[in-house]
Amino acid sequence: MRVGLFGFGRTGKSVATVLLQSKESHLCWVIRKSETLQHRSVPEFLGIESDEPGLIFPKDELPPPRLFDEHPIDVLIDFSSAEAILSYGGEAAKRGISIVSAISEYPGTTIDFIKKLSQQTKVLWSPNITIGINFLMLAAKVLKSIAPYTDIEIIEEHFKAKKEVSGTSRIMARVLSLPEESIKTIRAGGIVGRHEILIGFPFQTIRLTHESISREAFGNGALFAAQHLMDRPIGLYSLEDLLIPYFNLKQHI
Amino acid sequence: MRVGLFGFGRTGKSVATVLLQSKESHLCWVIRKSETLQHRSVPEFLGIESDEPGLIFPKDELPPPRLFDEHPIDVLIDFSSAEAILSYGGEAAKRGISIVSAISEYPGTTIDFIKKLSQQTKVLWSPNITIGINFLMLAAKVLKSIAPYTDIEIIEEHFKAKKEVSGTSRIMARVLSLPEESIKTIRAGGIVGRHEILIGFPFQTIRLTHESISREAFGNGALFAAQHLMDRPIGLYSLEDLLIPYFNLKQHI
Amino acid sequence: MRVGLFGFGRTGKSVATVLLQSKESHLCWVIRKSETLQHRSVPEFLGIESDEPGLIFPKDELPPPRLFDEHPIDVLIDFSSAEAILSYGGEAAKRGISIVSAISEYPGTTIDFIKKLSQQTKVLWSPNITIGINFLMLAAKVLKSIAPYTDIEIIEEHFKAKKEVSGTSRIMARVLSLPEESIKTIRAGGIVGRHEILIGFPFQTIRLTHESISREAFGNGALFAAQHLMDRPIGLYSLEDLLIPYFNLKQHI
Amino acid sequence: MRVGLFGFGRTGKSVATVLLQSKESHLCWVIRKSETLQHRSVPEFLGIESDEPGLIFPKDELPPPRLFDEHPIDVLIDFSSAEAILSYGGEAAKRGISIVSAISEYPGTTIDFIKKLSQQTKVLWSPNITIGINFLMLAAKVLKSIAPYTDIEIIEEHFKAKKEVSGTSRIMARVLSLPEESIKTIRAGGIVGRHEILIGFPFQTIRLTHESISREAFGNGALFAAQHLMDRPIGLYSLEDLLIPYFNLKQHI
């Protein structure tokens, strides 16, 4: 699976590390925002031994048609910005390149554009592209359907400097039909990220907890998404869509 | 739904409390081991106002044929001992009374007997009949199938006086194909019961935790089982079997 | 140590249970609000075997002078209401009976009255009279003095029906000089009570957590207070005051 | 405060980062094991802007007398190996340089040597030099003295590859007079490090938990130690010794 990566900020670098170290993917290139180029390859930049090219291109050096023609890929992973897909989307879709986007938010018109792309190629969009968080939301949804009389609370903890309520917890609230005020926000020290969905029964309590250790988790999620898209037909997906088949347990386990 | 309850020890009493307070069930009678009868009804004994009969019979006062004929029920809930089902099973099955057993362990021959009963009536057997614990096991099973490369550990905490490893944690280990040694056992003070399934990813950690508040949780589980058996065909079930349909999520949630 | 107990509601009963089962205390009597008397002794009422008298008197049957003269005690434990101390305080102080009050709040004038009593006898007042909660507050206070640059958050969890923010968490906030808004309140199912003081460092996180199992914890706290008052001079104390000497660690441990 | 650092492995680099970014310390130099020198200064190596020299010397380039004469320091922080102190100890002590060692274990003869050094200069040795862990141990020690009848359990969690029981948890067990077998060891995924001291009362549970976010925590601990040694007389200290004065709370807080 040949992969191209848009975005080489803090998260992008962590994702690149995972892609380089995985046997399932082959990191062909990375598009970065900054013009200054001290290194021309990701393995060199990150100090990882690898025989994958991992070429680094500044954003505007290679316009998409040339980029895809000269450096062909199967999957494009996007951790850059909400605008990027407008520039590469059409050319990628035309060539049947799968698109995996982890962008937090898109304006309405871009979402329409993405829906159109998904008629031509496979597109997955997931703002929090970790297996753990998406599993947690589905599991909580199942439990709520089993025991609709329970009380559900969401507690999210992050480092002090994080100003707003976490986007992930807001998606959790939406998926579980809870008002956004029901999210309890803890800000302290250097906590990387912790989300807890607490489900209170009259005589028992269940806690579904996700603790982030580092940003590399996004890389594993993106890789999982890219691999699972391979067996899927053209269309628009979320990471949850790819997890749902695993929930279809058979009787008499 | 008319219910009869075998067992009126500490757990049986908690189960009776839940049954009395539920609008879905009608507690007809309870069979207790002890001969001494200071009270003749459960509401009186527990100090709960209720117009349900809740008669208390000592174990050998009414042999099953008379018991079922004079005090007919739809579901029999068993929190007594491994022998009880041998005495009431045949008569209950003959009358199509559903059986919900929460007995921890049965000898092999009794299990064969139960299988035979389940050809005549609906039988559910679940050693830990709480919604929470059974949900947790299924959720962990799903997660293991999504991410088989993760490390799973089970931590169980109980009051100091509890000698052996908890039966629930041993079932968890079996369901998740973990060696029994992988269970970490904490014994301290008066902890009612806490089970944690920890799933370690390289860059994220998931904890699925169940905390028991009181034994009434078993009552809610038994009630859930009794109600869900109503729509099911004759056969042998576990509580997990009744939860599995809730896991069948649909795409594009 | 001969003990008298004011208050025989849900908490009072739990406290009485602990007092009856302790070898260090001798429960002489209990004053209850309700007039109706189905039982005349605590052991009989609670079904506990004991040779301690544990007489139950309705509130107005025996006015304090007669009560203390006919049924003398060393310590009076008060889990009743904010008014009670006004009726028994003067007579108890006159006789040098120690007073241990677990009343949540007193009006200002009553606090003045209590200060006056404490010039005549030993008085301890602690709204949350558990060893655990008071230890937690002192430990957090120590840690804040070690690392004043950390971020502190208080999370309290209780059963759904509990309306207001827990009084304990408000005291915690005051002791740690945190604004009351910094308390995060979780209400779900039947959680008995859980308080967490989270201290966030840049590169590490400390959580000091207290989980209530049952109201009997108040009995142990009251007993601890009564015993530790014995070696103390006349004066006004909080439970924290009695714990502070244990914090005075010696060098080279 | 002029600081020299022995050790520039993974932990040493994190410590250097903290020292460079702190206003209280001035990082003069670092001694590293490896001979190959691609960079000659720590700020350059770590990509941190700083006007502190942070010179990097290979282990044997400058023998201690010349090192201390040409590049004078007030405090030497040691994150290297158990042998290092034998080479620099005598010269440092002679010059009154304070020594802060975070080495896990020393052979008996080296400990004797360290004791001798501590008659000439201030020496602090702490195998786990984080404020959090040492606070936790002292707090648990206090609580055990308050409630000696409680059950204490230690749970430690680390990444899968960590083979042996954590040294920190073994020190905890020793400090709390618990048998080493009472430590429960969890190994899963990429957990950086988590230690929990669980104290079980009959009716309440206390959990004192420490979660490591990153190795920089050791830097903060070493800095804390170096600063607090300044007001202390010559002698041998542990980090706990420096924390103890903070535990000396005054009555009527």
Q: In this predicted model, what pLDDT tens digit does every residue of A198-244 receive, in sequence order?
A: 999 999 999 999 999 999 999 999 999 999 999 999 999 999 999 99
pLDDT at A253: 41
For residue A169, tell me if it sits in a domain. Answer: yes
Q: What is the pLDDT of residue C134?
A: 97
Report CB contact under 8 Å: D145, C246.
yes
* Chains contacting D (3 or more CB pairs within 8 Å): A, B, C
Window from A48-57, A179-188, B195-204, B205-214 with minimum mean pLDDT: A48-57
| Cβ atoms < 10 Å from Cβ of B9 | 15
Matching residue, tokens 């990471």:
A239
Contacts of A190 in chain D (CB under 8 A): 213-214
Predicted pLDDT of residue A45: 83
**Which residues in chain B touch residue C190, judged by CB atoms under 8 angstroms apart?**
213-214
Residue C240 and residue C124 in one domain: yes
Looking up residue C23, the CATH number of its domain turns out to be 3.40.50.720
- What distances in angstroms separate CA D89 from CA D72, D122, D234, one per listed residue? 15, 11, 15
Residue A37 has pLDDT above 70, yes or no: no
C113 and C49 both lie in a single domain? yes
D196 to chain B: closest CA residue: B186
Residue C122 has pLDDT above 60, yes or no: yes
Per-residue pLDDT averaged across D12-24, rounded?
A: 93
Average predicted confidence (pLDDT) for chain A:
93
**CA of B35 vs chain A CAs: smallest distance (Å):** 30
**D78 and D23 in one domain?**
yes
- Per residue in D189-237, pLDDT (tens digit) is 999 999 999 999 999 999 999 999 999 999 999 999 999 999 999 999 9
Interface of D with C (CB under 8 A): 130-132, 135-136, 138-139, 141-143, 145-147, 175, 201-217, 219-220, 240-241, 243-244, 246-253
Rounded to whole angstroms, how far apart are CA atoms B114 and B134?
Answer: 21
The total number of structural domains that make up chain C: 2
User: Does B150 share its domain with B44?
Assistant: no
A152-166, B62-76, D53-67, D170-184, range with the lowest pLDDT: D53-67
Q: Is the same domain home to D6 and D112?
A: yes
Kindly state whether residues A45 and A101 are assigned to the same domain.
Answer: yes
Predicted local distance difference test score (pLDDT) of residue D39: 66
pLDDT confidence of A33, banded at 50, 70, 90? confident
Q: What pLDDT is recorded for position A40?
A: 79
What is the interface size between A and D, counted as CB pairs within 8 Å?
10
Q: In what order do the strands lie in the sheet with C194-200?
A: C183-187, C151-158, C194-200, C204-212, D204-212, D194-200, D151-158, D183-187
pLDDT confidence of C253, banded at 50, 70, 90? very low
Residue D252 lies in a domain: no
Query: How many Cβ atoms sit within 10 Å of the Cβ of residue C233?
Result: 6
* A157–C198 C-beta distance less than 8 A: yes
Given a contact as 3+ CB pairs under 8 Å, which chains touch B? Answer: A, C, D
In a domain, B106, yes or no: yes
Is residue A242 included in any domain, yes or no?
yes
CA distance C218 to chain A (A): 21
Tell me if residue A10 falls in helix, strand or coil: helix
Specify whether A145 is located in the same domain as A201.
Answer: yes
pLDDT at A122: 98
Q: How many CB atoms lie within 10 A of CB C145?
A: 12
Per the structure, the complete domain to which residue B153 belongs is given by 131-211
CATH code of the domain containing A207 = 3.30.360.10
User: What pLDDT sits at residue C46?
Assistant: 83
Rounded to whole angstroms, how far apart are CA atoms B223 and B220?
Answer: 5
Domain-embedded: residue B16 = yes
Over residues C146-174, the pLDDT tens digits come to: 999 999 999 999 999 999 999 999 999 99
Instruction: Based on the fold, state whether residues C121 and C149 are members of the same structural domain.
Output: no
- Judge contact between C242 and C131, C-beta under 8 A: no
Q: What is the pLDDT of residue B172?
A: 95
Looking at every residue in chain C, the average pLDDT score rounds to 93
Burial C163-176 (b: 16+ CB within 10 A, else e): eebbebbbbbbebb
Contact: C247, D142; criterion CB under 8 Å: yes
The answer, yes or no, to whether residue C85 has pLDDT greater than 90, is yes
Mean pLDDT of chain D: 93
Lowest mean pLDDT among A40-44, A90-94, C201-205: A40-44
Q: Which of A15, A136, A146, A207 to mutate to test the interface with B (most CBs of B within 10 A)?
A: A146
Q: What was the pLDDT predicted at A53?
A: 87
Question: Residues in chain B with pLDDT < 70?
Answer: 36-39, 251-253
- Please say if the pLDDT value at position C37 is more than 80: no
Annotated active-site positions of B, please? 158, 162
When scoring C38, C213, C216 by the number of chain B Cβ atoms within 10 A, the one with the most, hence best to mutate, is C213
Any domain includes B180: yes
Question: Among candidates B18, B6, B227, which has minimal Cα distance to B124?
Answer: B227
User: In the prediction, which pLDDT does D253 show?
Assistant: 41
Tell me: do B159 and B79 sit in the same domain.
no
Q: Are residues C109 and C222 in the same domain?
A: yes
Out of D189, D190, D213, name the one closest to residue A190 (CB).
D213
Residue A57: DSSP 8-state: E
pTM above 0.90?
Answer: yes
Do C112 and C17 lie in one domain? The reply is: yes
**Number of alpha helices (DSSP H) and beta strands (DSSP E) in chain A:** 9, 11
Q: What is the mean pLDDT of residues D32-51?
A: 80
| C147 and C46 fall within a common domain | no
